[in-house]
Structure 1
């Protein structure tokens, strides 16, 4: 009797062990219909009121097995409040055994991203006491999200009343995230395919289209329903279909990608396409198939044609302009020339070594070192290459060429290639030599003219001075002296032009300095006169310089003659400035002031008449002010680049 009882106890423990191991395994599901016998034993196990006694061997066995199983186990009462959880559950959720007891799993684990439809479905099955399995997004105690696959089944007592619910949780976070990522990737790829501006298609082994993207459909003017399940022969022009089928056969036969170009005429007119087709493998439901991408390269083809035409025009332009282009690969020491350079150097391309050293051999021996050094310096200093040099031919002829080049460097700063041009400038060199010779002759001639004008004016001035010595009439002497001073002001201009070797521009500052010195010497005044200068460097045309000199001469002469009568000392201030092409000349003295009847508009002397007339010739403006503290004249005029004589007065 005892032996039989002991045998039954052993059998019960083994059955319970099998039951727990089965339902706690990763493959278990408490809603499977074919496991009824084990389910009955588990429910019997849970109905056992002695189950909760700590000393029971079957309780210890269950607890041991439940704690070593990697899946989480939750046992709730009929109101869904937790009565027991295993270690895997607490490890997975972060909630301890004590924190979990008496709480509903949903209160602890569900969060902001709960699937409302799935939650409603689970609640419905729980209310109807139906076992189920779901995949849920839960949240740990620390807020971290995780995915579980949970199987929940009700447990009934001997009266078939609901007693407990048991749930087994499997952590599927890694698998679920991979699935979600794969789903996201699939959506991204689908979105890319749907939005791509090139055609994408998939066919089965018989050539039937399984998928075409919107761009493919747009190119051929077909909708998705019309295309799927049809072949190219059923959809497209027979010539196009024949070409596409030929490519398909090649892909399937050789089992490798095929690249090509096709000219296809559709509703959009003739179009060029670059097509890449390749065999597809590992796609569910397709034993063998063909996928492909077709890009519309019509625009590139048109650009290619334009480039060819452009190259043709460039070659023509190079031939007309005697200019060719070259490229030197510094890594390979390979030199590439256009046809025009071969023509300039008068060599056969087949006989040229196509290297930098071969190029140097063609240069005039006297220029080789200079050319080589110029190119080397450009590489070392990362500066543009530019030089003019000669070519020496076997028959003794010499050509002049001009080279420009720019070097490109890699990320380490090492020069890798130079691109440049060579132009035959022999003819322009000859013209330049002729122009330089002619210019030199004209320069010598003009300098001689200025020199002779200056000397002739000096001669006239000398004659007038001799004439003044011959007469005793004071008025005549004054008249001759004034004329002499005016001639001297003009002579100074030609003297400056001769000294500067300029034919048209005069530096007014230098001119004014010489005129002040001349006036001081000519007037030989007994009054001590200080001259304060504020002169900028202003260069103007000779046709404006001579009038300026005459006006300054008249004003300075008048100051020396009249401003400081009966005074031992006087001050003259002279300024010269330029701003925005406007020239301003001021002359001020601290003398006795102008007489009361002074009127520039109605000049009473030759000097004032000259000042008024020449101011008008300059298109200038002359204003003055005078009081007991002195007099100021201010002349302003616009700089002009007039040529030739601008007045009968000069």
Structure 2
């Protein structure tokens, strides 16, 4: 047997064993594969079930679920998107997410997306997204990357965020309210008394600023030392039990040591974090205490006022029973208070009985006020007149009548006297020769005419309009003074006296007009007219005669001025025949004196005031003429300061001569050798005197000069003329100046 056969026999010998083993293995593999297939089928079914559940969750979730591709475009969205923002799957599929983001939030969202691609595994953010209808909603996002896409869940947070914002705003308003309320002090503090809150009212009431109070113990700040242990124990008890300290009035301490009267209440608040916050709310009672004191003082003053009132005060119920009276009511009726309080008002008021009292109470309820006159009964039996004012009032739901009664006995007597006086006055007005009328200022109605006026106008025009009756005019007269006689505030102004010709009566009248209150209170014009027709005729004749005399006097002054000018001309002619310098100076001085007098007469007839001249105007004409005569080519400046000073004719001529002499003396002597110089003349009026000053800046006065010892005719003439004016003249000077001063009383002040 060959080796091959041996091997074959060995193989054949083991072949059943391999077959059995293979069959066993095949059977085991089949079982194993069957088990794995069953497990795979079960896992697949579970996965399908999970997918269905996830799909249902995706579909029915109230949160918005979506997936986005790497490019930020929507891949899939659940139905919650349509419910929340109005978009369907087909509306947003393929669109970028940032198309829906509010422009103000876009940069922040993009930064979150960039970080999600980088270091973040989850991004949580909030942004505004546009609804399909254009409205914006706050959306809260939770996004994470997964297998190349971004899956995200979002929900509408608008209502929650708006609620939070409203809550923060409410808290801010509440805090602002607490911070700024002026009358209520609020302090917040912990269980150990450490101050954690201090509003502005606390600063005002206690004097500590917020910075000073925060962190300090409340008891050390405002609690008096004697109360601190008790307050600390009460605070600890309040913090441990949550029971606030009972509200009460307390006297606490301010920073400056003064007492703060407050009404203090407390509150225990548990915060959201579980902490206990204690609050003390203090109301400053200082103003209230002051107001109560002021009210008590006011009540006392009112009580004294009622007791001291000049009118009797009666307080009755609506049935007329007296419930309160003042001391004046006791005095008027002669009855004590105790007796009056048991009586009815009908026992005192003679005009009131039970029947009309009932009607009166009904009327006072409706009208609230009544004013009338009646008579009251005195205890001794007599009665007296009173003026009563009654008002309806309520107190505690009960109606009352408060009446004030004023004793008018004296007024009634005065009215009787006035009535009699009016009758007497009317009789007097009817008998006077002057024409008297009374006219209503507003309506122009004639209210009264006396007998003389009725006779002058032919009949009684009472009741008619004044401008028609007295002037035959359809409208108020152009000369009517009624509006002038009434001031802007409606009161009467000063009386007016005026003359006028009346075309109706054909007479001249001197009218005295005055506005007064008529007996009924309206404003009236009272006019008393005196017939001055005869006097006017005499005045016209006198005026004509005076005019003739004025013309004659003007002609006299004109002729005097002309004669003086003739004299001046004669002196000038005489000077032409002389060669001696001294003689020529004498004639020139005489010409100046004559010209000064002529100028006075010229001013008198040119101004038509033959008794006075105005000295300032006179000097304004005289001085330039003198300066022109004596300058002779030199630079001599003339300065004047002249007040308005009236002079009589008796004063004017010596005054003019004095000015002429002093100015001539300055030009001829003071400024004789000066190529340049100044002459200053001033005239002032003070305390009834006139003061003339003539000053030059020339050579000055010689040594030892006095007016009494003056050698020139001009200065001797000045002294003599000053005596004529009853004045004084003085001279002073030195190197470079000379001043002459004339003072004299003015005629109007001197009594002439």
Question: What are the superposed Cα offsets for residues 265-296 of structure 1, whole Å, 9 maximum, x if unpaired?
Answer: 889x996422468999999999xx99854212
Partner residue of 1:611 out of 710, 715, 718:
718
Q: Is residue 623 of structure 1 aligned with residue 733 of structure 2?
A: no
Structure number with bigger Rg: 2
Q: 1:476 to 1:290 in 2, by over 3 A?
A: closer
Q: How many matched pairs? A: 456
Residue in structure 2 matched with residue 178 of structure 1 by the alignment = none
Partner residue of 1:546 out of 653, 660, 672:
653
Q: Post-superposition shift, 1:641? A: 1.7
Secondary structure, aligned partner of 1:613: helix
Once residues 623 and 641 of structure 1 are traced to their aligned partners in structure 2, the CA distance between those partners, rounded to angstroms, is 24
Residue in structure 1 matched with residue 356 of structure 2 by the alignment = 251
Residue in structure 1 matched with residue 679 of structure 2 by the alignment = 572
Residue in structure 2 matched with residue 108 of structure 1 by the alignment = 246
Q: Does the CA contact (< 8 Å) of 2:635 and 2:676 recur in 1?
A: yes
* Residues 265-344 of structure 1: pairs in structure 2 closer than 5 A: 272-275=385-388, 293-301=404-412, 304=415, 308=419, 316=428, 322-329=435-442, 335-340=445-450, 343=454
Secondary structure, aligned partner of 1:598: coil
Q: Does the CA contact (< 8 Å) of 2:499 and 2:510 recur in 1?
A: yes
Question: What are the superposed Cα offsets for residues 571-621 of structure 1, whole Å, 9 maximum, x if unpaired?
Answer: 433333345554333323333333345321223232222111222333434
Q: Is residue 641 of structure 1 aligned with residue 748 of structure 2?
A: yes
Q: Post-superposition shift, 1:638? A: 4.0
Q: Can you give the 5+ residue segments of structure 1 that lack an aligned partner in the other structure? A: 1-97, 114-136, 146-184, 234-240, 409-416
Partner residue of 1:516 out of 603, 616, 623:
623
Once residues 523 and 470 of structure 2 are traced to their aligned partners in structure 1, the CA distance between those partners, rounded to angstroms, is 19
Q: 1:99 to 1:485 in 2, by over 3 A?
A: same
Secondary structure, aligned partner of 1:424: strand
Once residues 445 and 530 of structure 1 are traced to their aligned partners in structure 2, the CA distance between those partners, rounded to angstroms, is 42
Once residues 227 and 144 of structure 1 are traced to their aligned partners in structure 2, the CA distance between those partners, rounded to angstroms, is 50
Once residues 467 and 99 of structure 1 are traced to their aligned partners in structure 2, the CA distance between those partners, rounded to angstroms, is 132
Question: What are the superposed Cα offsets for residues 61-81 of structure 1, whole Å, 9 maximum, x if unpaired?
Answer: xxxxxxxxxxxxxxxxxxxxx
* Residues 111-510 of structure 1: pairs in structure 2 closer than 5 A: 111=249, 194=307, 196-201=309-314, 211-229=324-342, 244-245=349-350, 247-248=352-353, 251-252=356-357, 259-262=372-375, 272-275=385-388, 293-301=404-412, 304=415, 308=419, 316=428, 322-329=435-442, 335-340=445-450, 343=454, 346=457, 348-349=459-460, 354-355=464-465, 359-360=467-468, 362-363=470-471, 371=477, 390-393=501-504, 397-400=506-509, 419-424=524-529, 426-427=531-532, 429-430=536-537, 433-434=540-541, 436-462=543-569, 478-510=585-617
Once residues 587 and 186 of structure 1 are traced to their aligned partners in structure 2, the CA distance between those partners, rounded to angstroms, is 79
Once residues 462 and 622 of structure 1 are traced to their aligned partners in structure 2, the CA distance between those partners, rounded to angstroms, is 31
Question: What are the superposed Cα offsets for residues 343-366 of structure 1, whole Å, 9 maximum, x if unpaired?
Answer: 4872544x66634xx73364167x
Secondary structure, aligned partner of 1:371: coil
TM-score relative to the length of structure 2: 0.48
Once residues 530 and 504 of structure 1 are traced to their aligned partners in structure 2, the CA distance between those partners, rounded to angstroms, is 35
Q: Post-superposition shift, 1:461? A: 4.2
Question: What are the superposed Cα offsets for residues 235-286 of structure 1, whole Å, 9 maximum, x if unpaired?
Answer: xxxxxx8x8456335634865679433387889x996422468999999999
Q: 1:345 to 1:623 in 2, by over 3 A?
A: same
Once residues 270 and 487 of structure 1 are traced to their aligned partners in structure 2, the CA distance between those partners, rounded to angstroms, is 94
TM-score relative to the length of structure 1: 0.54
Q: Does the CA contact (< 8 Å) of 1:363 and 1:390 recur in 2?
A: no
Secondary structure, aligned partner of 2:668: helix
